[in-house]
């Protein structure tokens, strides 16, 4: 049982942490592309993704309760997916629309 919990936690940290960082990075790139330009938005969002991934790895591997880590990782990822889809449909006010930046 202990081995299963360790393997699950490592998988959750790597897979869940990566997924959360990837979808939030995509969402950030979509949100910023109109104000910064898509090239700049992509590079900035992808660079920040590594920091997000590192924070996710640290939190998931050190948080005491595995169930809590799983729920939070899943929720954060799903919110990121939803946000990305919404932004790609142009439903979210971008920085440019708010009068900030380009």
3-state secondary structure the chain: CHHHHHHHHHHHHHHHHHHHHHHHHHHHHHHHHHHHCHHHHHHHHHHHHHHHHHHHHHHHHHCCCHHHHHHHHHHHHHHHHHHHHHHHCCCCCCCCCCCCCC
> What is the C-alpha separation between 92 and 57, in angstroms, rounded?
29
**Residues of span 23-62 touching another protein by CB under 8 A:** 23, 25-30, 33, 36-47, 49-50, 53-54, 57-58, 61-62
Q: In angstroms, give the least distance from the CB of 49 to another protein.
A: 5
Q: In angstroms, give the least distance from the CB of 75 to another protein.
A: 19
Q: In angstroms, give the least distance from the CB of 2 to another protein.
A: 13
Verify binding: residue 88, another protein, rule CB under 8 A: yes
Verify binding: residue 22, another protein, rule CB under 8 A: yes
Verify binding: residue 79, another protein, rule CB under 8 A: no
- Residues of this chain that bind another protein (CB under 8 A): 14, 21-23, 25-30, 33, 36-47, 49-50, 53-54, 57-58, 61-62, 64, 84, 88
């Amino acid at each position: 049982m202990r081995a299963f919990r360790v393997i699950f936690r490592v998988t959750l940290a790597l897979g869940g942490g990566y997924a959360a960082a990837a979808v939030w990075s995509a969402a950030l790139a979509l949100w910023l592309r109109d104000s910064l330009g898509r090239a700049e938005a992509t590079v900035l969002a992808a660079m920040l993704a590594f920091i997000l991934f590192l924070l996710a790895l640290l939190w998931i591997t050190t948080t005491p309760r595995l169930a809590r880590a799983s729920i939070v990782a899943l929720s954060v990822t799903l919110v990121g997916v939803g946000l990305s889809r919404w932004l790609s449909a142009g439903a979210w006010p971008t920085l440019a629309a708010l009068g900030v930046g380009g």
